[in-house]
Amino acid sequence: MSIGSDIEDVLEELGSSIVILRDSGNIEGEFATIETMSQATKPLVISFFKNCTLSYATSVVQGDIINFETTDDKYLVTTLNAEEFENSIITKEGILYLCNVSGELLRPSGEIWNTHTYHKEQAFEVIKSNCYALLVNPEFRNKLVEEESVMVSMEEDEIYLPSSVGISINDRYEATSGEYYKIMVVNSYRYMGVDVCSIGKDTR
pLDDT digits (tens, 9 = 90+) for 130-181: 999 999 886 666 555 555 544 444 557 899 999 999 999 999 999 998 999 9
- 188-201: average pLDDT: 94
Percent of the chain beyond pLDDT 70?
Answer: 87
Same structural domain, 123 and 41: no
81 neighbors 92 (Cβ within 8 angstroms): yes
Q: Annotate 40-89 with DSSP letters as a single string.
A: --SHHHHHHEEEEEEETT----TT-EEEETTTTEEEEEEEEEEEEETTEE
Query: Residue 22: which pLDDT band, with cuts at 50, 70 and 90?
Result: very high
Same structural domain, 70 and 148: no
When divided into structural domains, the chain yields a total of 2
DSSP lists the bridge partners of residue 157 as: 199
Query: Residue 10: which pLDDT band, with cuts at 50, 70 and 90?
Result: very high
Picking from 49, 74, 98, the residue at the C-terminal end of a domain is: 98
How far is 106 from 170, CA to CA, in rounded Å?
Answer: 9
Picking from 78, 98, 118, the residue at the C-terminal end of a domain is: 98
Same structural domain, 150 and 191: yes
pLDDT, residue 130, reads: 95
Same structural domain, 107 and 196: yes
Which residues form the domain of 121?
103-201
Q: Annotate 7-33 with DSSP letters as a single string.
A: HHHHHHHHSEEEEEE-TT--EEEEEEE
Same structural domain, 82 and 137: no
12: nearest Cα among 56, 77, 50: 56
